[in-house]
Amino acid sequence: MARGRRYHFPGASYHVMLRGNSGDRIFFCKQDYTRICLLIQEGVERYGHRILAYCFMNNHIHFAIQVGPVSLSRIMQNLAFRYAQYINKEQERVGHLFQGRFRSILIDSNRYLKELVRYIHLNPVRGGIVKLPEQYKWSSHNAYLGHDPLVWIEPNYLLSRFGADKEIAIPR
CA 52 to CA 50: how far, in whole Å?
Answer: 6
- The residue ranking higher by pLDDT, 41 or 150, is 41
**Could you tell me how far CA 71 lies from the centroid of its own chain?**
16
CA 133 to CA 154: how far, in whole Å?
Answer: 18
CA 172 to CA 126: how far, in whole Å?
Answer: 21
DSSP tag of 5: P
Summarised one tens digit per residue, pLDDT across range 84-116 is: 999 999 999 999 999 988 999 999 988 899 999
Summarised one tens digit per residue, pLDDT across range 10-64 is: 999 999 999 999 999 999 999 999 999 999 999 999 999 999 999 999 999 999 9
